[in-house]
Amino acid sequence: MKPKIIHDTWKIITEDTDFSLNEGYESIFSLGNGKMGHRGNFEEYFSGPSLQGTYIAGVYYPDKTKVGWWKNGYPEYFAKVINAPDWRGIKITIDGEKLDLYEVTLEDFRRELNMKHGYFAKQFVAILKSGKKVKVESIRLLSIVNDEIGLIKYVITPLNFSGNIEVLFDIDGDVMNRDANYGEKFWTEVSRGFDPFPYVVTETKKTFFHVANTFSAKFSSEGREIKPVKIARLESDKYVGLVYTLPVVENVPVEIYKYVSVTSSLYYEKGESLLNGAFDNLRYALDKGFEQLFSEHAQAWEEKWRDSDIVIEGDVAAQQGIRFNIFQLNQTYTGKDERLNIGPKGFTGEKYGGVTYWDTEAFCLPFYMSTSEPKVARNLVLYRYRHLEKAIENAQKLGFSGGAALYPMVTINGEECHNEWEITFEEIHRNGAIAYAIYNYVRYNNDPEYLAKYGLEVLIAISRFWAQRVNWSVPKQKYVMLGVTGPNEYENNVNNNWYTNYLAVWTLQYTIEVLEYVRDNYLNDYNRIVEKVNFDYDAEVNHWQDVIQNMYYPYDPERKVFLQQEAFLDKELKTVDEIPPEERPISQHWSWDRILRSCYIKQADVLQGLFFFEDHFDVETLRRNFEFYEPMTVHESSLSPSVYSIVASKIGKEEKAYELYLRTARLDLDDYNNEVHQGLHVTSMAGTWMSITYGFGGMRIKDNKISFAPFMPRHWKAFSFKIRFRQWLLKIWVDQSQVKITNESSTPIDLLLYDNDYTIEPGQTLVHNVEHVLN
């Protein structure tokens, strides 16, 4: 069963009342504003399948790990962003009967996510068991202008009766995570009350974050405020609620407003300050009123779209798909706070615990770099600088020394949280992705000062790790890297993963370059760093040079391809089309044993290296490797097809590039992998964005300029995308015959189009006629 989404260019719409898919829809209709978010749970009572989820960025809990046999070096806990107090509730009771959307008969049911203006809307007519009929229309949003404020407008119309209805507004802090490893609740109550507004302050166990939730209600009808005839209080541990009894008249709509504020101890002193902050927000919101707040929020979303939209002409489903991705990325991370990062599921589910993976560096950074002001990307890169000390401790725990750093596979505070040796200890290419992100950020934003202030320290620590992680093989007379797991996690504990070896050597080379650059240009910083990290240039760089010159790379001289790892050719080489369709995805049908021993590739591995370092190889090399690995790749990570798609675009396999793009374009909306109920693939959405901009758009940085080489997927009429590059804002528009690049900024830009130099004046459009032949 797949979600039934109505195609629309700006909205995600469903009229589906098959609630067996409800948890998937809840993921799809998630809202977020960078600081907090929640799944698209109903405001109403709902006794059907539902994963209730409210999340506050940075508020986490170190859940006890589950592990078969604990091994030295394993972390003791798994930090997760946890389910936070739930403030959505607007729960209706009519004559003692609950308006439970799972129990009533529904007509004209519709949920929609308005991406242009950033809200979730819902409407239905419900027929209760008593025969009473009500019509409901609601709007919900998390303000991106005032990011501690949530708003609900809820319009209810009795269609065949007059009388009283009861409306329960509540805050429920007595929540838990479905994946709480030992069924534990993570919150305790600090305080609760009703003055001046109903509130609950809760605290996480162990981490002692405080969170205040407060709400206020407004009711009106026919333009006039109305008063409840009765208000009753409900309270219990971590819970407050008010039951308003409202008089209603047949066919006369009543507007119900819930104003909510959520504050956390990340931004307030615990105690009065935190709670007063929430009350102040609430007063401010009540003062402005729903309509004004709504309009400011909608306006802010329009501005976000101005810098980040992709328009696809002639394909509504594709248009909806890419906007959904951009929308979710913008909901998840705003770059305001360098302590925050991007969990693979954003605010849309519990899986992966809201913690940070290498997805951020390899996939998300390019999106934020090109669609936000430079500070946003800088904060993402700085995040790892802030964790450098912990990464050094992490490496020490594993037996490394001398200031070597191993960044964690999974983290929220810099400490490793993942507990499988083959990942935690071996999937070390992540360390290289962090070095690459520094290079990528500095190159894109031309910010070499970042290297002197922050980057070099991180690079030295990572290079020190690589230099210790290799060892000299006597039989090979080369350096080897034993016992690693590459990005393709369907191979574990292999020797000489080509991508990891290549990335390690690149890191060493880049670090040497940066050392020299900083010494030549920022000598004070250079000296400061050398002293701080006790750097012995001669000894260390000499060893690095030795590793650079003598690294072993597995290679097949017959096929002239890089080998994903040593001994890869000992496997039985098969292609994906030999797998019976009913056995796909293999992760859901095959034993782990069978998967590991097969040749099948979960996600870009050698190809990840070709993507990062395409300039190092000629097109024929890219093509040979693509043609060898692509038929063996099952793409069972959402991060995979976008990388293959970009490389396919590069080597002129345009149909293949488009086919691969399609595998991620509507991954969650069409739920290809039967897992949207777990949350959205937020980080992979940035990969989809890259498939268009880097892939179809051929965007690169070359010679310190931005460069494009677009081609037009023939299934579309035209497409265009917006790019922020340093001080410039560009619009690139492509159809079968023309490429147009408009400089929407106030200074002229020098750029490359199909490797030719152009200068575009402010407000001007470069028009290029293409004669394009599809491969």
In the complex with its own copies, the residue whose CB is nearer, 181 or 509, is: 181
Minimum gap (Å) between residue 416 Cβ and its own copies? 11
Q: Which residues contact 130 (CB under 8 A, 6 or more apart)?
A: 94, 95, 97
- To the nearest 5 percent, what fractions of the chain are helix, strand and coil? 35, 25, 40
In the complex with its own copies, the residue whose CB is nearer, 538 or 570, is: 570
In the complex with its own copies, the residue whose CB is nearer, 215 or 352, is: 352
Question: Encoding tokens for residue 566?
Answer: 């040593």
What is the rounded CA–CA span in Å between residue 686 and residue 708? Answer: 19
Would you tell me which residues interact with its own copies (CB under 8 A)?
A: 65-69, 71-74, 182-183, 397-399, 418-422, 425-426, 471-476, 480, 482-483, 492-493, 495, 566-567, 569-573, 587-597
- Judge contact between 616 and 557, C-beta under 8 A: no
SS3 string of 194-216? CCCCCEEEEEECCCCCEEEEEEE
What is the rounded CA–CA span in Å between residue 344 and residue 363? Answer: 11
In the complex with its own copies, the residue whose CB is nearer, 139 or 494, is: 494
Cα 466 to the center of its chain, rounded Å: 28
Nearest to 173 by CA among 231, 217, 212, 216: 212
In the complex with its own copies, the residue whose CB is nearer, 243 or 482, is: 482
Question: Encoding tokens for residue 316?
Answer: 């509504």
- Give the sign of the dihedral formed by CA 160, CA 162, CA 164, CA 166: positive
**Residue 653 three-state SS:** coil
Nearest to 186 by CA among 312, 46, 353, 333: 353
Region of residue 755 (phi > 0: left; psi between -120 and 50: alpha; otherwise: beta): left
**Residue 247 three-state SS:** strand
Minimum gap (Å) between residue 563 Cβ and its own copies? 11
In the complex with its own copies, the residue whose CB is nearer, 96 or 580, is: 580
- Judge contact between 563 and 556, C-beta under 8 A: yes
The residue type of 115 is M
In the complex with its own copies, the residue whose CB is nearer, 288 or 584, is: 584
For residue 449, indicate whether it is catalytic: no
In the complex with its own copies, the residue whose CB is nearer, 68 or 96, is: 68
In the complex with its own copies, the residue whose CB is nearer, 34 or 432, is: 432
In the complex with its own copies, the residue whose CB is nearer, 593 or 703, is: 593
**Residue 514 three-state SS:** helix
- Judge contact between 86 and 267, C-beta under 8 A: no
| Long-range contacts at 587-591 (CB < 8 A, ≥ 24 apart) | 587/636, 588/674
Nearest to 570 by CA among 556, 586, 583, 560: 556
Secondary element (H or E) of residue 149: strand 149-158
Nearest to 99 by CA among 165, 22, 24, 173: 165
SS3 string of 421-458? HHHHCCCCHHHHHHHHHHHHHHHHHCCHHHHHHHHHHH
Give Rg (Cα) of the chain: 27
- Judge contact between 744 and 764, C-beta under 8 A: no
Q: Is the bond preceding 196 in cis, omega lying within 30 degrees of 0?
A: yes
**Strands 705-708 and 749-753: what pairing?**
parallel
Annotated catalytic residue, options 427, 489, 566, 636: 489
Catalytic residues: 489
